[in-house]
Amino acid sequence: DTGVSQDPRHKITKRGQNVTFRCDPISEHNRLYWYRQTLGQGPEFLTYFQNEAQLEKSRLLSDRFSAERPKGSFSTLEIQRTEQGDSAMYLCASRRGQAKETQYFGPGTRLLVL
Amino acid sequence: AQTVTQSQPEMSVQEAETVTLSCTYDTSESDYYLFWYKQPPSRQMILVIRQEAYKQQNATENRFSVNFQKAAKSFSLKISDSQLGDAAMYFCACSRNSGNTPLVFGKGTRLSVIA
């Protein structure tokens, strides 16, 4: 396993701009999760996929946020019209679908909205 | 809904000593999993230890062990023989069912290890 990778690792943008993040899960992991972590807090769930199907979305995921996993492999998280409150670390995790499997986390994308 | 509470924002321990990090949780599920994750500075989160709620025996992983008190909804982490590399943020987390569902995290405890 090469691990979960995320790109970019850092992103600085101006308020109102759109940003897109990518997550590449561990191969053969059919479940993929997005979390958001702000300073001094634990990660908060945003959304997750089983293969290409988006199974659950948090109420934190406003209509400015959209996530896709078109072929059941990598996933993208887009934030439209960014706001300063969107500044956070965005974490991706993946796992196999079987019971008792562990979620493996990527290094995260740190977003700063100016 | 599930909630996880970590009441110790910061803890410190002398190298080679033992430290216990506290965690309480609330859930209406009968089947759930509990986890401790470690997040070193500027590094990614890794799993330290996990506990299935239906198991009465406390999980152990080398120097790491848990004290799982189901009735009290308490899930503390004990680190024995602390090492400098143990310095990190530690997050307690809970998930429903078999662990397929998203994790609910506490706010974390920052552990410092003093040489």
Residue B21: Cβ within 10 Å count: 23
Residue B80 pLDDT greater than 80, yes or no: yes
Residue B31 pLDDT greater than 90, yes or no: no
Mean pLDDT of B6-34: 95
Mean pLDDT of A15-40: 95
> Which residues, in sequence order, are CB contacts of A58 under 8 Å at separation 6+?
A44, A45, A46, A47, B102
Residue A56: Cβ within 10 Å count: 14
Are A43 and B52 within 8 A, CB to CB?
A: no
Residue B97 pLDDT greater than 80, yes or no: no
Q: Tokens representing B50?
A: 């996990």
Residue B100 pLDDT greater than 90, yes or no: no
Distance CA B96, CA B27 (A): 9
Residue of B nearest to A10 (CA): B42
Q: Tokens representing B112?
A: 């410092």
Are A107 and B98 within 8 A, CB to CB?
A: no
- What is the predicted pLDDT for the residue at B86? 97
Q: What is chain A's percent helix, strand, coil content, to nearest 5?
A: 5, 50, 50
Are B45 and A91 within 8 A, CB to CB?
A: yes
Are A45 and B104 within 8 A, CB to CB?
A: yes
Q: Is B97 helix (H, G, I), strand (E, B) or coil?
A: coil
On the question of a cis peptide bond just before residue A8, with omega within 30 degrees of 0, the verdict is yes
Question: Which residues from chain A sit within 8 angstroms of residue B2, using beta carbons?
Answer: none
Are B102 and A33 within 8 A, CB to CB?
A: yes
Residue B99 pLDDT greater than 70, yes or no: no
Residue A100 pLDDT greater than 80, yes or no: no
Question: Which residues from chain B sit within 8 angstroms of residue A45, using beta carbons?
Answer: 102-104
Amino acid at A18: N
- Could you tell me how many CB contacts below 8 A there are between chain A and chain B? 59
Residue B75 pLDDT greater than 60, yes or no: yes
Question: Which residues from chain A sit within 8 angstroms of residue B100, using beta carbons?
Answer: 31, 95, 97, 99, 101
Residue A21 pLDDT greater than 70, yes or no: yes
Which is more confident, A98 or B22? B22
Mean pLDDT of A13-33: 96
What is the rounded average pLDDT for all residues in chain B?
A: 94
- What is the predicted pLDDT for the residue at B96? 83
Nearest to B76 by CA among B59, B62, B89: B59
Mean pLDDT of A61-82: 94
